[in-house]
């Protein structure tokens, strides 16, 4: 959430000459409403189940950079599936940078609303992000590639991911013993 994946993803896809898909957009296309609306009507558990279904449907997409929501890989099953079916990249960003990036988006992110559906204040956002990261980082750090994004230009981040991705492909032994 707020790490830049929806902006960096298309840049990376372009550099790789691949296509780009945003899991949140795929979900919204399937449900015909916004995630925020679905989330408020059905709750987080129903959203996470739907998110898992759509994530697994992406297995039919070849040469595609897929941006997933911040909580999408925070289940053992989803993370295992992603690690086996692609290259997972963790865009690491510190809490102060996240708060700064999300300052303008408080009202559109369900995880940044209180129980009454109202936006949290900045202190509440900081506390929520800190709590979310404390539960999510153990999943995120299992990624194949980790890139710290603090104080970096978006194009530099995309270039760094591309380089690490291409290096990881070259380092993999060929299948079949050749």
Rounded average pLDDT over 119-125: 83
Give the integer Cα–Cα distance in Å for 176 and 41: 50
Q: Does residue 175 carry a pLDDT above 50?
A: no
Residue labelled with tokens 């053992």 = 76
User: What domains are there in the chain, each with its CATH number?
Assistant: 5-165 (3.40.50.300)
- Stated as kind and residue range, the H or E segment containing 67 is strand 64-67
Residue 167: the pLDDT is: 92
Q: Is the pLDDT of residue 105 over 70?
A: no
With a cut of 70, say whether residue 173 has pLDDT above it. Answer: no
Average pLDDT, the chain: 89
* 64-67/89-92 β-pairing: unpaired
Supply the pLDDT for residue 59. 93
Cβ-count burial of 63 within 10 angstroms (0-12 exposed, 13-18 middle, 19+ buried)?
Answer: exposed
The 10s digit of each residue's pLDDT in 28-77 is 999 999 998 998 899 989 999 999 999 999 999 999 999 998 899 999 99
């Amino acid at each position: 959430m707020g790490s830049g994946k929806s902006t960096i993803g298309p840049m990376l896809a372009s550099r790789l000459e691949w296509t780009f898909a945003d899991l949140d957009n795929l979900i919204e296309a399937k449900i015909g409403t916004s995630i925020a609306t679905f989330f408020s009507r059905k709750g987080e558990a129903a959203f996470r189940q739907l998110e898992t279904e759509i994530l697994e449907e992406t297995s039919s997409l070849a040469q595609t950079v897929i941006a997933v929501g911040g909580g999408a890989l925070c289940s053992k099953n989803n993370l295992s599936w992603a690690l086996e079916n692609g290259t997972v990249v963790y865009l690491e960003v510190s809490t102060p940078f996240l708060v700064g990036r999300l300052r303008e988006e408080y009202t559109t992110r369900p995880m940044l609303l209180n129980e009454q559906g109202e936006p949290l204040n900045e202190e509440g956002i900081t506390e929520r992000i800190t709590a979310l990261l404390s539960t999510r980082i153990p999943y995120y750090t299992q990624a194949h590639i980790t890139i710290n994004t603090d104080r970096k230009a978006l194009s530099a981040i995309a270039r760094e991911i591309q380089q690490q991705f291409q290096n990881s492909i070259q380092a993999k032994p060929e299948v079949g013993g050749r």
